[in-house]
Amino acid sequence: MATMNVSLPDLMRKWVESQIETGHYSNVSDYIRDLIRRDQEYKDKREALLKALTEGERSGVSKRTLDDIWKDVKTRE
């Protein structure tokens, strides 16, 4: 595993330390790894959403009414 050094302003350092004090994280590295994982997940989900929106936009205008779409959604639940 590689090591990285990160400089933080005092307020951020105190924030990180307070997160560790909650007991949810064992140390600074654990907290930073969690932040990076969450950022990766967020970006993956955002990319998937943008792709779906682009595909939807490219598919053209639907001939279905809004009521038809909502009925379809409710039957899937």
Query: 67 with 55: CB under 8 angstroms?
Result: no
- Other CB atoms within a 10 A radius of the CB of residue 24 amount to 10
* Of 50, 44, 4, residue with least CA distance to 28: 4
Task: Write out the chain's pLDDT in tens, 77 residues.
Answer: 899 999 999 999 999 999 999 999 999 999 999 999 999 999 999 999 999 999 999 999 989 999 999 999 999 87
Beta carbons of 26 and 34 less than 8 angstroms apart: no
